[in-house]
Amino acid sequence: MTTTTNRNRYSALSISAHWLTALLIIAVYCLIEFRDIFPRGSDGREAMKMWHIMLGLVIFGLVFVRLAALAVYRIPPIMPTPPAWQHILAKWMHFALWLFLIAMPVLGWLTLSAQGKPVPFFGLELPALLAPDKALGHQLEEIHETIGTIGYWLIGLHVVAALYHHHFMRDDTLLRMLPQRAG
Query: Domain limits of the chain?
Result: 12-177
Neighbours of 70 (CB within 10 A): 17
CB 84, CB 14: distance < 8 Å? no
Distances (CA, A) of 147 to 18, 55, 104, 108: 20, 17, 7, 11
Could you report the per-residue pLDDT of 60-81, keeping only the tens digit for each? Answer: 999 999 999 999 999 999 999 9
**For residue range 88-120, what is the model confidence (pLDDT) as tens digits?**
999 999 999 999 999 999 999 999 999 999 999
Global confidence as pTM: 0.92
Which whole number is the average pLDDT over 127-155?
98
d(CA 162, CA 170): 10
- Span 12-177 CATH architecture: Up-down Bundle (1.20)
